[in-house]
Amino acid sequence: MHAPGLQLSVSGDRVALTFAFADGDLCEFNAPSCAACLLETVEIDTHCVERYLESTLLEELPRNVTSIRIRLRTEAIDGAYYHYSHGLKKHQGQCQRIAHGHRSRLLIERDGVRAPELEQEWAERWRDIYIGSREDVVADELHGGQRYLRFRYQAAEGEFELLLARKRCYLIDTDSTVEHIAAHLASELGRAQPQARFLVRAFEGVGKGALAHNVAL
């Protein structure tokens, strides 16, 4: 809430914010208030999230519990991973929120052999990316000479809207579930190398993911 470049407005059950990145790009977010966790800090880091969780959970515990200690850790990933955010409007849980994110492992096999160079290529392409559905794009706008995409959809919790620089977005023709992401990767790999057979394993968090094959010529 105290980050430089942040403009924040909370009205009723809605929260709206505009944030300026270090390179000048803007992000606009407008959603039900339940979709945003507002922390009294300049920067989001592990320490401030631990403190927030401790104080929040302590309120839910019996009075004879006087303190709680939480330690968070980053998942150890040996190999390539992509870091993305997205929203799933058809989801009935918290995944419907338009800008939640994942740090996900990626495994690619070409003709039955692991292809770490392709894993790294896609990991770099999807480093800090927003994966959006084309059908959720409601406007292609120009701000300060930069192209922006505006996403908007209605979900169970209400209306969600997000504006991001076009260069920070990657559009697909389907919903951005992990199953569709894996299928999209397999299709794109097959398009580039139509004679090869690809297997894509796309992960999403811990203990969740999807497998997809392309159709080799």
pLDDT in tens, 140-177: 999 989 999 999 999 999 999 999 999 999 999 999 99
What is the pLDDT at residue 216? 66
Q: CA 137, CA 149: separation in Å to the nearest integer? A: 7
pLDDT, average across residues 7-31 = 94
Q: CA 171, CA 173: separation in Å to the nearest integer? A: 7
pLDDT in tens, 83-122: 999 999 999 999 999 999 999 999 999 999 999 999 999 9
What is the pLDDT at residue 204? 86
pLDDT, average across residues 51-62 = 95
Rounded to 5 degrees, what angle do the CA atoms 178, 179, 180 make?
90
User: Could you tell me if residue 68 is inside a domain?
Assistant: no
What is the pLDDT at residue 33? 95
User: Could you tell me if residue 165 is inside a domain?
Assistant: yes
pLDDT beyond 60 at 139? yes
Cβ of 177: how many Cβ atoms within 10 Å?
A: 18
User: Could you tell me if residue 85 is inside a domain?
Assistant: yes
Q: CA 76, CA 79: separation in Å to the nearest integer? A: 9
Cβ of 61: how many Cβ atoms within 10 Å?
A: 11
What is the pLDDT at residue 217? 57
Q: CA 166, CA 147: separation in Å to the nearest integer? A: 6
Q: CA 61, CA 120: separation in Å to the nearest integer? A: 44
pLDDT, average across residues 7-21 = 94
| Closest to 174 (Cα-Cα) out of 160, 188, 163 | 188
**Of 158 and 216, the one with more pLDDT:** 158
User: Could you tell me if residue 79 is inside a domain?
Assistant: yes
Measured CA distances, 130 to 10, 71, 121 (Å) = 24, 28, 17
Mean pLDDT of the chain: 94
Confidence of residue 5 (pLDDT cuts 50, 70, 90): confident
pLDDT beyond 70 at 13? yes
* Counted domains in the chain: 1
What is the pLDDT at residue 207? 78
Domain interval for residue 171: 6-38+74-213
pLDDT, average across residues 179-190 = 96
Q: CA 178, CA 203: separation in Å to the nearest integer? A: 7
Q: Is 186 within 8 Å of 173 (Cβ atoms)?
A: no
Residue 108 tokens read as 């690619």
Q: CA 47, CA 71: separation in Å to the nearest integer? A: 8
User: Could you tell me if residue 161 is inside a domain?
Assistant: yes
Residue 40 tokens read as 């009294």
- Within 8 A by CB and 6+ apart from 50, the residues are 70, 71, 72
